[in-house]
Structure 1
Amino acid sequence: MTKNQGALLTTMTRWYSPADVLKMATSTNASLLLLSGERSPYPGKLGVIEEGAFADVLLVDGDPIANIKLIAEPAKNLLE
């Protein structure tokens, strides 16, 4: 996640629920990438947690669905 991406995502809660925002930023984007077919730079499944898939897992110190602002400060709230 880039430095400002989390803050930008939190502004989307004006229109969407925190769960919808997180889904759009993760699995929905993966679904869009899959539409590129053979041009996709990823030779495997995206947006799922399973063996052989390409995925980033973010560990948040708290519940981002209850408090989406947690992702606005990645250095403080995203665990390494």
Structure 2
Amino acid sequence: MNKHQGAILATMSRWYSNDEILTMATSSNAALLAMSCPRNPYPGRIGVIEADAYADILLVDGDPIADIKLIADPDANLKIIMKDGRIYKNTLTA
């Protein structure tokens, strides 16, 4: 997720519910990539969190279904960012 993508997604709340926005941005996009066959950049399963799958995980400080604007400020509200099993951001304390 780039820095502005969350803000763009948050503007979609004019037309969609917050859970619909999150579904479109995650599992629906994964399903579209899977249908692209050779153009799919991920060789394994995507859109699920399970062994041997490619999963991007965001840990949000709050409930984005209740407040989609949380994803509009990733610096403040995304505590963990993981892509392809690699952690890019972790601000949680042990």
Which band: TM-score by shorter chain? over 0.9
Q: Which has the higher strand share?
A: 2
Structure 2 counterparts to residues 32-51 of structure 1, below 5 A: 32-51=32-51
| Deviation string, structure 1 residues 17-45 (Cα, Å, up to 9, x no partner) | 00000010010000000111133221100
* Higher RCO (CA < 8 A, seq sep 6+): 1
Question: In the alignment, residue 64 of structure 1 is paired with which amino acid?
Answer: P
List structure 1 runs of 4+ shifted beyond 3 angstroms: none
Equivalent position of 1:11 in the other structure: 11
Question: In the alignment, residue 42 of structure 1 is paired with which amino acid?
Answer: Y
State the percentage of identical aligned residues: 64
Provide the aligned length of Structure 1 versus Structure 2: 80
Q: Distance in 1 between matches of 2:39 and 2:10?
A: 31
TM-score by length of structure 2 reads: 0.82
TM-score by length of structure 1 reads: 0.96
* CA RMSD after TM alignment: 0.7
Deviation, 1:48, is 0.4
Question: In the alignment, residue 12 of structure 1 is paired with which amino acid?
Answer: M
Gaps (5+ residues) in structure 2?
Answer: 80-89
Equivalent position of 2:85 in the other structure: none
Q: Which has the higher helix share?
A: 1
Equivalent position of 1:73 in the other structure: 73
